[in-house]
Amino acid sequence: MLVKQSSEAELLARTPRDLAGRCNCSERHFNRIFRKHFGCSFRERQLEMRMQRARQLLRESNTKIINVAFESGYRHLGLFNAMF
């Protein structure tokens, strides 16, 4: 499956619509298949991966919070703070 072959960074940067297009199916169908295989929605999994990445960066580096947010896939520090 495309999701298993994609890197984490690529999955963090993609939308369900992008991935559905690459799979030649509708976004709705992609979301159903994803939920069936992974037990959660693509957005839920994407959020989980972003939080894991942020925790790793915070633990293992002295990177500024704003850079951790950007490297974790968040475009706005306020949203990162709210989610974290």
Burial of residue 12 (CB within 10 Å: 0-12, 13-18, 19+) is middle
d(CA 53, CA 31): 23
pLDDT at 3 over 70: no
pLDDT tens per residue, range 23-81: 899 999 999 999 999 899 999 999 999 999 999 999 999 999 999 999 888 888 898 88
